[in-house]
């Protein structure tokens, strides 16, 4: 065990963890909106919208994240027509390709989490609102959404942790995230065990933080006292 290498690589890896966090937070933020939109579409009675939303979540939950990144980064890069459009400004950058893949992936899972949360809301709550003469719109924003978010917290916390680990795949499209920098250090020191132990510990610490934030929110927004 080379403890000196572990100590000297720690600040470099910590620096790289900032990129990991950036990737995670941006893609979760976009993914949450995508998820909410598609959860609502899933509950829509219009069969076309419903099927479209179902198809999206089916495709993105049914294929590996690595494959999705490769299709978006290497696959779209092969289409010559695309390279002459304004889209190439975004798709040229590995950072945005990774964000698009992560956001679409987490969006698919989030839509499923939110959909099931919407469906568990007791009809009595909505009926109570209606009998008080509250409009459907207000019922949706003030009753259904807050309850759905609370209900989905445990499952969403899990999704955040899965996504955090998923960001390690960004290194496959040349991004120097935590895993990317770990691999870089290994490529010059040839000592994978030491470096991966440090990188793994940083991932573990991030999981610990996410886990506790979710636990705190769950306790804060608990219904039954």
Task: Summarize as ranges the residues that interact with another protein (CB under 8 A).
Answer: 74, 77-78, 83, 92, 94, 172, 174, 183-184, 186-188, 190-192
Cα(197)–Cα(125) distance, integer angstroms: 49
CB of 12 to another protein, least distance (A): 14
Cα(103)–Cα(117) distance, integer angstroms: 20
Neighbours of 12 (CB within 10 A): 16
CB of 98 to another protein, least distance (A): 13
CB of 59 to another protein, least distance (A): 24
CB of 204 to another protein, least distance (A): 22
Q: Contact at 8 Å (CB) between 53 and 38? A: yes
- In sign, the C-alpha dihedral spanning 59, 64, 69, 70 is negative
Nearer to another protein, 86 or 190 (CB): 190
Nearer to another protein, 2 or 218 (CB): 2
Q: Contact at 8 Å (CB) between 105 and 57? A: no
CA-wise closest residue to 154 among 112, 215, 224: 215
CB of 205 to another protein, least distance (A): 25
Nearer to another protein, 9 or 151 (CB): 9
**Rounded to the nearest 10 degrees, how much is the dihedral formed by the CA atoms of 70, 72, 73, 74?**
60
Neighbours of 142 (CB within 10 A): 12
Neighbours of 141 (CB within 10 A): 11
CB of 78 to another protein, least distance (A): 7
Nearer to another protein, 72 or 117 (CB): 72
Nearer to another protein, 77 or 154 (CB): 77
Q: Contact at 8 Å (CB) between 203 and 162? A: no
Nearer to another protein, 61 or 83 (CB): 83
């Amino acid at each position: 065990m080379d403890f000196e290498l572990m100590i000297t690589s720690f600040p470099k890896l910590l620096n790289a963890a900032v990129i990991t966090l950036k990737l995670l937070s941006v893609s979760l933020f976009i993914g949450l909106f995508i998820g909410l939109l598609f959860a609502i579409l899933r509950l829509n009675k219009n069969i076309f919208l419903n099927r479209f939303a179902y198809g999206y979540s089916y495709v993105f939950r049914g294929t590996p994240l690595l494959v999705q990144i490769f299709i978006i980064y290497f696959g779209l890069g092969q289409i010559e027509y695309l390279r002459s459009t304004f889209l190439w400004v975004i798709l040229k950058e590995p950072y945005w390709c990774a964000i698009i893949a992560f956001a679409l992936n987490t969006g698919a899972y989030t839509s499923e989490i939110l959909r099931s949360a919407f469906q568990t809301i007791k009809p009595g709550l909505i009926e109570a609102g209606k009998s008080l003469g509250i409009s459907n719109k207000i019922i949706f924003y003030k009753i259904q959404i807050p309850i759905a978010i609370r209900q989905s917290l445990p499952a969403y916390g899990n999704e955040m942790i899965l996504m955090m680990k998923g960001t390690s795949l960004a290194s496959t499209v040349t991004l120097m995230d935590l895993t990317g920098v770990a691999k870089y250090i290994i490529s010059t020191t040839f000592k994978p065990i030491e470096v991966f132990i440090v990188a793994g510990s940083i991932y573990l610490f991030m999981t610990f933080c996410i886990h506790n934030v979710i636990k705190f929110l769950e306790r804060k927004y608990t219904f039954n006292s």
